[in-house]
Amino acid sequence: MLPINFFALLDMLGGDTQRVSTLLQTFLKELASDLESSQLALESGDMGSLRKIAHRVKGTSANLHATLVSAAARELEQACIEGTASAVAATQRVMQEQGEILMDAIRDWQQRLATSA
């Protein structure tokens, strides 16, 4: 499974590649910030903040057809509510890894888009 469904996202936004690219650029910045914040929240034991970050990542990534990150964030959100510290750490690590894979995929897509223009 791909980290993001660019075709579905393009279809959702009427095929406007520039609009999709701009949206994804904003998302990249937000996701990078959220991943960093999630690591800091984990390190400080702030499960409330970590749950909120996971919830935000879950929703935003789902709206952008990035299902793997969304699923990882959903698992982290649930672990923050009912999991042990080790479960929270493990699910945060998965969200972090999936987020990095997603960010690389978006950058690759944007690079191909810029090269073809």
Q: What is the CATH number of the domain that holds 72?
A: 1.20.120
Residue 27, pLDDT score: 97
pLDDT tens-digit series, residues 5-57? 999 999 999 999 999 999 999 999 999 999 999 999 999 999 999 999 999 99
Residue 83, pLDDT score: 85
* Domain tally, the chain: 1
Whether 116 maps to a domain, the answer reads: no
Whether 100 maps to a domain, the answer reads: yes
Reported confidence tier of residue 116, pLDDT bands at 50, 70, 90? confident
Domain that holds residue 96: 6-111
Whether 104 maps to a domain, the answer reads: yes
d(CA 24, CA 45): 30
d(CA 116, CA 98): 27
Whether 10 maps to a domain, the answer reads: yes
Reported confidence tier of residue 1, pLDDT bands at 50, 70, 90? confident
Tokens of residue 93, six digits:
């690590």
